[in-house]
Amino acid sequence: MITQFLFPTLQQHLNTQLPDHLWHYTSTAGLIGIVKSKKVWASQILMMNDAMEYKEGLEMYRLMLYNKLNNKFSGQLSAVERSFLEHSHSTVGATNSNFYVFSLSTLRDSLSQWRAYAQDGGFSIGFPAAHLKTVAATQQFVLAPCIYDHQLKGRILSEIVNFSLNEFLAQAKNTNEDNLEKLKETLSSTLMKRVAGVAPFFKHRAFDEESEWRLVSPPLPPAFPEIGFRPGAMGLIRHYEFNLVTPENPRLCTGEHETSLVVVVGPGLDITNQISVQALLSHYLGPGCGHGPSDAPFRTSK
């Protein structure tokens, strides 16, 4: 897990104050499936539209190592430092990339999100963020906002690289020549895993108006029990069935707005849909959930 290492800039980002709710825009079928199952599907990151941004995060890390090895200060590197950085540079991407991601937004009723995800009518589901973070921790997921700022990405990667290099140098002092190569391989692999763990949160700054947060899994083996399959625009997509409730946190509806699931009925859908949403929530989740209409001035294609 990326949170077990004390990288100050990353930790500060991960500790961003939670909003009351985080919102997911979906279709009618999506709403019914989520409410009935009390689960959401986190998609394998390499099968998402944002896969290129994940790969660009790894490329940013590769370029950082290259610059350390070739900038005007590279002559000051010791042979041991250079050996570690060169090995790390040669193994960029050599790690398990089976991260699973579920996207949310701080925006309850966003015109651009309705246009993107609800052309024919849809719904915005507001999950109580504190509850979401609690159940995420039990499933070893991390909940955090996406990172759009290029300089912030650079500071985070720099802290991870410097920490890992210093970790290697400290252990190398007490390692004999025969075991030094093994230590270098092990800690280079650890460095790569740390970078891969934060890269799913990287997004291009052109998309910052989406105000996206993500649930991100640890790297999972392909045969993990909670992994299923669904059709998608890019073919067969693997997904993780993320539980919205646990035995310790079994309720999504409490009667209090801040701690209850809320559904916004999308633009273009009439009062009948609001009544149906209320019935759906009560039937599967019990009383106490919230719902209401969208205020966005958007007409669907219907």
Q: Tell me, what's the pLDDT at 115?
A: 85
Q: Tell me, what's the pLDDT at 3?
A: 46
Beta-strand ranges (E) seen in 45-163 are 100-105, 123-128, 142-145
Could you tell me whether strands 290-293 and 262-265 are parallel, antiparallel, or unpaired per DSSP bridges? Answer: parallel
The alpha carbon of 14 is separated from its chain's Cα centroid by a whole number of angstroms, namely 11
Domain residue extents for the chain: 2-293
Which element (helix H / strand E) includes 196?
helix 177-198
Q: Are 141 and 242 in contact (CB under 8 A)?
A: yes
Amino acid at residue number 140: Q
Q: Are 80 and 172 in contact (CB under 8 A)?
A: yes
Q: Output phi, psi for 12, to 5 deg.
A: -60, -40
pTM: 0.92
pLDDT along the chain (302 residues), means of 10: 69 95 95 97 86 87 95 88 95 84 96 81 94 97 96 96 95 91 95 93 92 95 87 85 96 93 91 94 95 81 54
The token pair at 191 is 């460095």
Q: Tell me, what's the pLDDT at 299?
A: 63
Q: Are 161 and 64 in contact (CB under 8 A)?
A: yes
Q: DSSP readout, 162-179?
A: HHHHHHHHHHHTT--HHH
